[in-house]
Copies of this chain bind each other. A is one copy, B any other.
Amino acid sequence: MRVKVTVMLKDGVLDPQGEAVRHALGAMGFDGVNGVRQGKLIELDVADGTTEAQVTEMCEKLLANTVIESYRVEM
**A interface with B by C-beta (< 8 Å):** 6, 8, 18, 21, 24-25, 28, 30-47, 50, 54, 57-58, 61-63
Copies in the complex: 2
* Chain B hits for A61, CB < 8 A: 28
Which B residues touch A63, using CB under 8 A? Answer: 21
Tell me, rounded to whole Å, the shortest Cβ–Cβ distance linking A59 to chain B: 11
Among residues of B, the one whose C-beta sits closest to the C-beta of A54 is B30
**Contact between B44 and A33, CB atoms less than 8 A apart:** yes
- Residues from chain B with Cβ under 8 Å of A45 in the complex: 33-36
Decide if B38 touches A41 in the complex (CB within 8 Å).
yes
Q: How far is the CA of A30 from the CA of B64 in the complex (A)?
A: 16
Chain B residue nearest to A49 in the complex (CB): B32
